[in-house]
Structure 1
Amino acid sequence: MSLDTVKHASETPDTEQPWKELGLKEDEYARIREILGRRPTGAELAMYSVMWSEHCSYKSSKVHLKQFGEKVPQNDAMLVGIGENAGVVDVGQGYAVTFKVESHNHPSYIEPYQGAATGVGGIVRDILAMGARPVAVVDPLRFGAADHPDTKRVLPGVVAGIGGYGNCLGLPNIGGEVVFDECYQGNPLVNAGCIGVMKHEDIHLAKASGPGNKVILYGARTGGDGIGGVSVLASETFDDTKPTKRPAVQVGDPFQEKLLIECTLEIFKEKLVAGIQDLGGAGLSCATSELASAGSGGMHVDLDKVHLRDATLSPEEILMSESQERMCAIVEPQHVDRFLEICEKWDVIAVVIGEVTDGERLEIFWHGEQIVDVPPRTVAHEGPVYHRPFARPEWQDALQADDAGKLPRPQNGEELKDQVLKLVSSPNQASKSWITDQYDRFVQGNTVLAQPEDAGMVRIDEETNLGVAMATDGNGRYAKLDPYTGAQLALAEAYRNVAASGAKPLAISDCLNFGSPEDPAVMWQFAEATRGLADGCLQLGTPVTGGNVSLYNQTGEVAIHPTPVVAVLGVIDDVNRRTPIAFAEEGQLLYLLGDTREEFGGSAWSEVVHQHLGGLPPAVDLDREKLLGEILISASRDGMIDAAHDLSDGGLVQAVVESCLRGGNGARLVVPEGLDAFTFLFSESAGRAVVAVPRSEELRFTDMCGARGLPATRIGVVDGDAVDVQGEFTLSLAELRTAHEATIPALLA
């Protein structure tokens, strides 16, 4: 077992150390020596290596992320912003909601089941650490080509991991998305989000203040799984020539996590903690350094008191282990006995491993020998800051000049019909029920909307019916064409989805998935997308409350499309006023809201029919998005619409087919004057929705749209058992259902 004391490190300055193998750069190692005034001990080197990794320190992205703190919209709902485990917003009636999206991409490629399962576990603990009861999860997913053999390895494992862990926790999975594209072949994106609810007074923060307060580690024992974990895995590109990194993937136990949740909530109820932090990326290295850094600054830890699953672990391995289902609490001495009692009641292992001191150092001991003596801020918050070079790629102009509008179009109704069938049966537009049926969407009994609705929605107060909604969206094809606009389109779509459900958008969390930051073209994509998102949030009035950056999503020279995933959280006063997507009653009038233009760059039609990516993505008008949102929310609240579905991937025809199949009713559509049938059906112009209006509300609804200046065009009626585009083609619901539902099972079952 290795042991390298602080005293020994001071006396042996020339000892060779494996800084390179731990992912540190030469100048970073030199800086650590400068900070400490000596070479680091093995334990200190381990801590700095994981905490200064890309995944934990954001060293390549923080110079761009600071825009989220500089361009903050005026929003009275914000209670806790960037910098904590998760953001918190006020949703009224004394309730606060915390939410966040994070990535577990690299572990999920190596070990799909455990990578995805522990991604769910980690985000749930982030929410728990804020003082909230987790109430729902979402999962935005990206995989390689649907028919690629490796997709059959990765996707079922990821879905089983998400379902297995989340279902065991008793948390409904209410939303997310599944996208296939060959660019994700070696780098699937497994993003996980969670929503939690608490009262305002129950908010907890990650800080260790108050000399003499005890540091308690509780939850599962620390094992050898996940040593380095995401902190190492997510900080470099995959290389097919390197050996497997399976041991770096954490192993989850959802039943242990369920006990940890209930135990922690009871501890919160009795107000026994002064600060708390979950153990996720970088494990104890992160929890101890961040708690000390955010608090008074001093902490003493006896590492040999940590309960182990593997007695052979070295101090470095214990500090780097990312074993799951663990939390670290700061507890005043008079509350320690009661804290430990509650842990024992829930069969949760707990041990005092140290205390807060009045010093300014994080000091860690191993059987009496000091192995760490560092200023905690240098570990947790003052890591490297890289101003990576970035430049618009040389190929960007040619890509944008390759206009999708020049692609051959259907020449008659029969060709239109064939292309509609091809679209709705394509892997990205087909029903994902084979996947979502593996998740429990209605456990706890408070889910009121879930996939395939535009947004997931849960009731958070059973007496008043107060609820929250969340939608996650992102389109890597749009972002590849124009990262700035692509990020804003992701924001606009998630915003629109929440508004279409009847909820008022409040704030966002994001998960920014990109290739290697060492490539100037990738860094340009990242810089542009971040700028677009910050500008868009400022304009829409939805602050960024937190999120995650995932870089190095590439194999060799092949990077994923830039994929900023945006999660928008909204609030609704009464979930009984929610708006579903289903066309549920014959006779409802169908209205198209917004302007339809010739916009096919990055469209589903261009991908499915022509395997083409080029041109410019749809234009963004965030003022129009805001107006559309206000109309949808007002119409929902006042009973003017029975259904609403946003228009995005696949355009109007995809939305109409989904709403018809969801409600079991057909639709007769008339192509509006001034539009050709092809553009009417397939355009992906943003800022649009299709709504079903009861005949009794038509005048009131159209008057409201007219008064507010929102184009509202009557395009048809809910009727029959087919989608009938008059003068062009008719497709029966039976034929559409077969096409829409058969694809994914055929590929994956």
Structure 2
Amino acid sequence: MASPNVDTPVIDTTARAVETPDLPQPYVELGLADDEYARIKEILGRRPTEAELAMYSVMWSEHCSYKSSKKHLSYFGKTTTPEMREKMLAGIGENAGVVDVGDGWAVTFKVESHNHPSYVEPYQGAATGVGGIVRDILAMGARPLAVADPLRFGPADAPDTRRVLPGVVAGIAGYGNCLGLPNIGGEVVFDESYAGNPLVNALCVGAMRVEDLHLAHASGKGNKIILFGARTGLDGIGGVSVLASDTFSGDETAGGRKKLPSVQVGDPFTEKVLIECCLELFAKKLVVGIQDLGGAGLSCATSELAAAGDGGMYIDLDRVPLRAKNMTPAEILSSESQERMCAVVAPSDVDAFMAVCEKWDVIATEIGEVTDGDHLVITWRGETVVDVPPRTVAHQGPVYDRPYARPAGQDTVQANTTDSLARPSTPDELRDTLLKLVSSPNLASKEWVTQQYDRYVRGNTVLAQPSDSGVIRIDESTGRGVAVATDCNSRFVYLDPYAGTQLALAEAYRNVATSGAMPVAVTNCLNFGSPRDPGVMWQFERAVHGLADGCAQLGVPVTGGNVSFYNQTGDTAILPTPVVGVLGVIDDVTRRIPTGIGNEAGETLLLLGDTHDEFGGSAWAHVIHGHLGGLPPKVDLERERLLAEILVAGSRDGMISAAHDLSDGGLAQALVEMVLIGQCGARAILADDQDPFVQLFSESAGRVLVAVPRSEELRFTEMCDARGLPWRRAGVVDPEAGALEIQDVATFGLDELSTAWEGTLPALFD
């Protein structure tokens, strides 16, 4: 889109657009369809200028406009009750969701994807994914407190995974560690479907006083628009319109890439200073409205601020600080250079605003102002290059009703149950199965990854990986804290998108409750294949309805999230992966429940919930037999709510000394992790009336293994009985044993288990 002669460019002004209505424009290359381009011309009454075309192309991209998902996402609004809305201070449509957590505190959190950039350039793709989500939290007026990273990769032993995973992990660590933000949670999952299309989702949580909430809007004629932070360069141009809104062709090796623009380059030290600068600006009440510059850059920030305001906006691109020569207006507007913010400031506060920026050595430039018109007008070199109604750019993009249909093979997949698979029955077979599972890449320790992250910087981390959820203190005077967990078993979602997504919600909800926190809100990152595939859209529609209905039943609102389509290579889509993040509140973090059992001899292990013969999509079927078929475990959200209430009550009253939810790998995996995390032996007891294999490896939902002090066992079990929660004695803590003994099955030394659980990823990636 740059002129052939960069020294004397022909400026494509709005006047020139009127004079040259038939000038060919590269709208297809920018991701726009014929009818979309025609609609832009209809809106403007002329062809768009190069700069306008750039703005519409990025803002109408799948990534920014949600044009294929908006129809289905509206279902969240239909299922959100007034009681659920009361918990939210900001919800869907804002930079991040915000909930009131009591004592005058508000917490904001969100998860977003940076998938395709992280495949092209793993380090910078992952690093700038962290930087972008942190700025979303900052834009709400909150101090970012912690991050988490749900990750998906191809097979652990694949050569390309060895290229992508270390770079992604290093990028997350390099950016987050430099910001001084603890990484307290997330997942690392391997599956063939993610080969060539890893998922790098990033979550951030922040806190503020309720009165400090900021929203993105430009109001008040004469208020100034100030761009501050890093200079604008050529990196990331086309990131959302091309890279994040299209399918990889299948040949993304060097020299064989299809339309892959440059990935953004992050500078965490600039962002760290920007965070402190913003927080001081907020504290001094010098900001009317604010928007971070992430996907779509200035195109997004200016159009969204203007669209949410009560007037128009004027911007002079000549004032934008650049770090590259001869940038065109289209490039300036489309650049996704990192570490930038855009603020609306009252004229009387401009000098004070600039003084704060100067104090923090942050570049700040007044680039325009709010007008009393209804258009966003942008000039360059004295000529008008953009003159558009801002809402048509930011909020009135195309909305598609994509065809969706249950795939023809779905019934066959569900009919392919695990009934024909050989099950272990002898003690030796059960022992061998347990060791194979705990050492498999998906169930093995992720310490190789998490040790690269600073999990305890700032000193407010209470729980972090490998705990079920991350817990961080937000108020040092009262001990109030929040817990976050992300989950998704994509095999379950593939087998039944509705139930599988509710299982993801249930697991994240349960993981938060297992720490002693009460779940209060949900965010999501919906990762799917191409929306042009009716089967993918059926998966998406079912997943959205499953999540919305599940949240309505649990009474926890969806506060925001992200849709990431086109996650496929050629015709091969990833397993549907709707990552669900749950936020919980704990009144006193000293009452949090750890995951590992302690060294109190004689503490009772209790298994809460019911165990059924449910192996569709299980780790056992996947690891031992390479099988994916049948139906996922049944989900009972009322049971999940009851379980959470009992866990929170047990935490508050000091009745539970350790707890771990049962999910991938079942009871066997939970036992192994509890004894290894706590470095303490235990003796497990299986029930006489059920197959040991089912008891050890079933992945039935709604179950938690807890350790209860002997003095509290009667009180705790009476509470469970009174509330109707099934339980059984599952063992006893035995610090002297130095082993995990499973009665009538096998005894595993802690060293043996440690070698199996902790050795897998280092052997693959060191």
2-side partners of 1:728 and 1:620: how far apart?
Answer: 29
Out of 400, 421, 434, which is 1:386 matched to?
400
Q: Which residue of 2 aligns with 1:665?
A: 680
Q: Which residue of 2 aligns with 1:52?
A: 60
> In the TM superposition, what are the counterparts of 1:48-87 in structure 2 within 5 Å?
48-73=56-81, 74-75=83-84, 76-87=86-97
Regions of 4+ moved over 6 Å: none
1:465 and 1:576 in contact (8 A); partners too:
yes
Q: CA deviation at 1:244?
A: 5.9
1-side partners of 2:117 and 2:480: how far apart?
Answer: 37
1-side partners of 2:88 and 2:241: how far apart?
Answer: 29
Asked if residue 625 in structure 1 is aligned to residue 640 in structure 2, the reply is yes
Out of 313, 316, 335, which is 1:302 matched to?
316
Q: CA deviation at 1:247?
A: 4.2
Asked if residue 652 in structure 1 is aligned to residue 667 in structure 2, the reply is yes
Q: Helix, strand or coil for the counterpart of 1:393?
A: coil
Q: Helix, strand or coil for the counterpart of 1:235?
A: coil
Q: TM-score, normalised by structure 2?
A: 0.97
Q: CA deviation at 1:405?
A: 3.4
2-side partners of 1:674 and 1:64: how far apart?
Answer: 45
2-side partners of 1:404 and 1:625: how far apart?
Answer: 26
> In the TM superposition, what are the counterparts of 1:249-264 in structure 2 within 5 Å?
249-264=263-278
Aligned-partner residue type, residue 126 of structure 1? D
2-side partners of 1:268 and 1:544: how far apart?
Answer: 27
2:243 and 2:261 in contact (8 A); partners too:
no
Gaps of 5+ in 1: none
2:425 and 2:693 in contact (8 A); partners too:
no
Q: CA deviation at 1:406?
A: 2.9
Asked if residue 690 in structure 1 is aligned to residue 708 in structure 2, the reply is no
1:297 and 1:362 in contact (8 A); partners too:
no
1:224 and 1:317 in contact (8 A); partners too:
yes
Aligned-partner residue type, residue 739 of structure 1? A
1:448 and 1:457 in contact (8 A); partners too:
yes
Q: Which residue of 2 aligns with 1:163?
A: 173
Deviations 1:694-727 (A, max 9, x none): 1111110010000000001101111122221111
Aligned-partner residue type, residue 161 of structure 1? G
2-side partners of 1:389 and 1:159: how far apart?
Answer: 37
Aligned-partner residue type, residue 613 of structure 1? L
Q: Which residue of 1 aligns with 2:135?
A: 125
Larger deviation, residues 278-287 vs 294-303: 294-303
Q: Which residue of 1 aligns with 2:250?
A: 240
Asked if residue 741 in structure 1 is aligned to residue 741 in structure 2, the reply is no
Q: Which residue of 1 aligns with 2:332?
A: 318
Q: CA deviation at 1:732?
A: 1.1
> In the TM superposition, what are the counterparts of 1:84-163 in structure 2 within 5 Å?
84-163=94-173
Q: Which residue of 2 aligns with 1:436?
A: 450
Q: CA deviation at 1:364?
A: 0.4
2-side partners of 1:142 and 1:88: how far apart?
Answer: 27
Gaps of 5+ in 2: 1-5
Q: Helix, strand or coil for the counterpart of 2:399?
A: coil
1-side partners of 2:391 and 2:637: how far apart?
Answer: 39
Q: Which residue of 2 aligns with 1:4?
A: 12
Aligned-partner residue type, residue 44 of structure 2? L
Out of 724, 742, 746, which is 2:741 matched to?
724
Aligned-partner residue type, residue 304 of structure 1? D
Larger deviation, residues 536-545 vs 671-680: 671-680
Q: CA deviation at 1:411?
A: 2.2
Asked if residue 291 in structure 1 is aligned to residue 305 in structure 2, the reply is yes
Q: TM-score, normalised by structure 1?
A: 0.99
Out of 673, 676, 687, which is 2:691 matched to?
676
Q: CA deviation at 1:282?
A: 0.2
> In the TM superposition, what are the counterparts of 1:31-42 in structure 2 within 5 Å?
31-42=39-50
1-side partners of 2:586 and 2:259: how far apart?
Answer: 45
Out of 602, 605, 616, which is 2:620 matched to?
605
Q: Helix, strand or coil for the counterpart of 2:134?
A: helix
2-side partners of 1:194 and 1:511: how far apart?
Answer: 13
Aligned-partner residue type, residue 625 of structure 1? E
> In the TM superposition, what are the counterparts of 1:568-607 in structure 2 within 5 Å?
568-585=582-599, 586-607=601-622
Asked if residue 26 in structure 1 is aligned to residue 43 in structure 2, the reply is no
Q: CA deviation at 1:463?
A: 1.0
Q: Which residue of 2 aligns with 1:414?
A: 428
Asked if residue 204 in structure 1 is aligned to residue 214 in structure 2, the reply is yes
Asked if residue 642 in structure 1 is aligned to residue 657 in structure 2, the reply is yes
Identity of aligned residues (%): 70
How many residue pairs get matched? 749
Q: CA RMSD in A?
A: 0.9
Q: Which residue of 1 aligns with 2:352?
A: 338
1:279 and 1:286 in contact (8 A); partners too:
yes
2-side partners of 1:26 and 1:69: how far apart?
Answer: 31
Q: CA deviation at 1:231?
A: 3.5
2:315 and 2:368 in contact (8 A); partners too:
yes
Q: CA deviation at 1:674?
A: 2.1
Deviations 1:650-671 (A, max 9, x none): 1011011000001111221121
Q: CA deviation at 1:236?
A: 0.4
Q: Helix, strand or coil for the counterpart of 2:68?
A: coil
2-side partners of 1:726 and 1:445: how far apart?
Answer: 41
2-side partners of 1:68 and 1:159: how far apart?
Answer: 33
2-side partners of 1:362 and 1:641: how far apart?
Answer: 58
Q: CA deviation at 1:232?
A: 2.2
1-side partners of 2:214 and 2:198: how far apart?
Answer: 33
Aligned-partner residue type, residue 97 of structure 1? V
1-side partners of 2:306 and 2:140: how far apart?
Answer: 17
> In the TM superposition, what are the counterparts of 1:542-561 in structure 2 within 5 Å?
542-561=556-575
2:224 and 2:369 in contact (8 A); partners too:
yes
Q: Helix, strand or coil for the counterpart of 1:66?
A: helix
> In the TM superposition, what are the counterparts of 1:368-379 in structure 2 within 5 Å?
368-379=382-393
Q: Which residue of 1 aligns with 2:3?
A: none
Deviations 1:403-455 (A, max 9, x none): 02331100200000000000000000000001000000000000000000000
2:157 and 2:764 in contact (8 A); partners too:
yes
2-side partners of 1:671 and 1:173: how far apart?
Answer: 36
2:220 and 2:311 in contact (8 A); partners too:
no
1-side partners of 2:665 and 2:458: how far apart?
Answer: 34
1-side partners of 2:419 and 2:344: how far apart?
Answer: 60
Q: CA deviation at 1:734?
A: 0.9
Q: Helix, strand or coil for the counterpart of 1:444?
A: helix
Q: CA deviation at 1:184?
A: 0.2
1:106 and 1:230 in contact (8 A); partners too:
no
Q: Which residue of 2 aligns with 1:219?
A: 229
2:317 and 2:379 in contact (8 A); partners too:
yes
